Amino acid sequence: MTKEIYSVSQLTRELRSQLESGYRAIWVEGEISGLATPASGHLYFSLKEKNAVIRSAYFRNKRSLTSIAPKNGMQVLVRGQISLYEPRGDLQLIVSFMEEAGEGALRRSFELLKQTLSQEGLFDAVHKKALPAYPQKIGVITSISGAALQDILTTLKRRYASVSVILYPVLVQGEMATQQIVEMLNRANQRNEVDVLILARGGGSLEDLQAFNEESVARAIFNSDLPIVSGVGHEVDFTIADLVSDLRAATPTAAAEHVSPSLSQMKKEIQDVDQQLRKTLLKHLQSSQQTLDYFTSRLIHPARKLELLEQRRQRLHYQLKNNITQHVSRREYELRGLNSKIQLHSPQNRLSLYRQQLEQDKRSLKNTMLRKLTDTQRNVFGFREKLQIMSPEHTLNRGYAIVQDKQNRVVLDSDSTRSGDEVNIKLAKGNIDAIVSRRNQ
């Protein structure tokens, strides 16, 4: 079996690596001892308790994160990383943050509760209740002997003297403070005698304000049906109660100012409302006056009304008479037109028209026939003259003769005759019988 042998540097290096990876960011509480403050600005000390001690280093670049001045014997809470200083093989804590131990525990508790309640939605704006604008009664949960109560009463008297104030006295620090605050929150809600609650106390350390950082107080505030204004501590103080309340005020005085309307502001609002009412009334009066003027202008004296009615009657009578006259005239015109059409299409009239047309046609026919006859006679005379010109008698009168054979056929060719044939020669005056003795071509 082969033995694994480490060199010293190997062992210290491996131990350092395992320590730094396994203890990266841890919280350690202890008492400062052997504090050394060299010129480099780094701090070297030991954290010890009864039976243990661990060497620590707080380097200058990390010291700006804390406001405390470390000193021997101080109980502190530090956050850091475990490491090993190889040259000497010393285990040491490299510190990155330091605070006093008591307040540190409270702050860790504060941050843890804050994270838990935030995840549950207790701080969400959707749950915040609106404050009444003009509360009649204001409840104050605070110490009866504290300066916070006097600040609240003085502010309310100055700003809103007419309001009633009901005090729910409680302790504001110590072991019994948390229980009393929860009881008074529940009692105020059960009585339901005020319009808004102020939860207040003066300033103090984180430990002094611890009652307002308790979970039971936070849940009592969240479950309240009454709106709650928190005025815990001074402006720099911030508690869980501030986060859960419906409104966080920087101081008790500021809380009283938030729940009470300012007299000057109220006066201004009243003046604004008065001015608005005056404007509205003036506008209404002007509108009413305009309406009155309108109806007045339309209001007429009865005599004048009768006169206007008589004028309107006469105008309508004239229009009616004119319309009737025009209507009668149109009807008479239409009637005359119809009579004309009737007369035009009556049998007697049509017969008369037909007679006239017949006479006209007879005259036209007679004239036409006369013209035709005259034209015909003229043509006959012309043809007669042409016939006379072309007639045989006319030809004979010019010295010609017509030769006919025994069959009264006109002899046109000498070849159609023979010697000894008898022929008749017709002259212009008289006829001659002859015998063909010879033919000539």
The residues spanned by each domain of the chain are: 8-107, 135-261, 396-435
Say if residue 105's pLDDT is above 70. no
∠278-281-285 over CA atoms, to 5°?
135
Cβ pair 401, 425 in contact under 8 A: yes
CA–CA dist 237, 20 (Å, integer):
37
Superfamily of domain 135-261: Lumazine/riboflavin synthase (3.40.50.960)
Whole-model pTM?
0.46
Helices (H) and strands (E) in the chain, counts: 11, 13
Q: Which of 177, 258, 259 is nearest to 220 (CA)?
A: 177
- Comparison of pLDDT for 15 and 59, the residue scoring more: 59
| Mean pLDDT value of segment 135-141 | 94
Question: pLDDT confidence of 234, banded at 50, 70, 90?
Answer: confident
The reported pLDDT for the residue numbered 333 is 87
Question: pLDDT confidence of 36, banded at 50, 70, 90?
Answer: very high
What's the start-to-end Cα distance of the chain, in Å?
A: 187
> What strand order describes the sheet that includes 422-426?
402-404, 422-426, 431-435
| CB within 8 Å of 349: residues ≥ 6 apart | 343
* Amino acid found at 228: I
| Mean pLDDT value of segment 303-325 | 85
Say if residue 356's pLDDT is above 80. yes
Question: pLDDT confidence of 104, banded at 50, 70, 90?
Answer: low
Say if residue 25's pLDDT is above 70. yes
The reported pLDDT for the residue numbered 359 is 85
CA–CA dist 176, 174 (Å, integer):
6
- Assess whether the region 8-107 and the region 135-261 belong to the same CATH fold: no
Question: pLDDT confidence of 164, banded at 50, 70, 90?
Answer: very high
| Mean pLDDT value of segment 315-320 | 88
CA–CA dist 247, 220 (Å, integer):
15
- Tokens 């530090």 locate to 78
Question: pLDDT confidence of 103, banded at 50, 70, 90?
Answer: low
- Report the range of poorest mean pLDDT among 20-34, 108-122, 131-145, 380-394: 380-394
Give the DSSP H/E element, type plus range, for residue 61.
none
Question: pLDDT confidence of 290, banded at 50, 70, 90?
Answer: confident
DSSP 409: P
The reported pLDDT for the residue numbered 288 is 85
- Report the range of poorest mean pLDDT among 152-161, 175-184, 332-341: 332-341
Specify whether the backbone of 89 is left (phi greater than 0), alpha (psi in -120 to 50) or beta: left
Cβ pair 417, 405 in contact under 8 A: yes
Cβ pair 220, 186 in contact under 8 A: yes
| CB within 8 Å of 222: residues ≥ 6 apart | 122, 127, 244
Q: Where are the beta strands (DSSP E) in 108-266?
A: 137-142, 164-169, 196-201, 228-232, 247-248
Say if residue 224's pLDDT is above 90. yes
Question: pLDDT confidence of 195, banded at 50, 70, 90?
Answer: very high
Q: For the beta carbon of residue 195, count every other beta carbon within 10 angstroms.
A: 19
The reported pLDDT for the residue numbered 127 is 92
| Mean pLDDT value of segment 137-157 | 93
Give the DSSP H/E element, type plus range, for residue 91.
strand 90-100
The reported pLDDT for the residue numbered 287 is 87
Cβ pair 403, 417 in contact under 8 A: no
Helix axes 177-191 and 215-222, enclosed angle (nearest 10): 10
The reported pLDDT for the residue numbered 308 is 80
Superfamily of domain 8-107: Nucleic acid-binding proteins (2.40.50.140)
